[in-house]
Amino acid sequence: MKGYWLEGLGVVAQVLLYYLWPMFAGPTDGIAVVLLIFMGTLVLSGALGMGSGKRIKFLYPVLAGVLFLPSIPIYYNESAWIHALWYFAVSAFGIAAGSLIRYLFLTLQEKGRK
């Protein structure tokens, strides 16, 4: 497990988004919290996709969906279960986009060396 600090940092940041961010939101800010977590998940997963060269990063979308589940009874009502699927989908898109950007950047860098 040595050398997975970037992936671990992404998971810690995601946990902070799910559990600390809603603590500071007011009762009428529910949709804003969901949208900010949505955008944060996209940015974190994109950064993880661009920064990590390890295959374990592809487990991140599953973790993003599963880590949201315990926050539902704490901050939300039962209608929020569907958001776990949205966070999975958004983080899968972010990982794919970040990995594609990383691949294109490395390919262009290799062509520039030749």
pLDDT at 1 over 70: no
Give pLDDT tens digits for 9-37: 888 888 888 888 888 777 666 677 777 78
Outline where 1-56 has alpha helix (H): 5-19, 30-51
Give pLDDT tens digits for 35-74: 778 888 888 888 888 887 878 888 889 999 999 999 889 8
13: its two tokens: 């940041």
65: its two tokens: 């969906």
54 phi-psi bin (left φ>0, alpha ψ -120 to 50, beta other): beta
- What is the DSSP annotation of 68-85? HTTHHHHHS-GGGHHHHH
Q: How many helices (H) and strands (E) does the chain have?
A: 5, 0
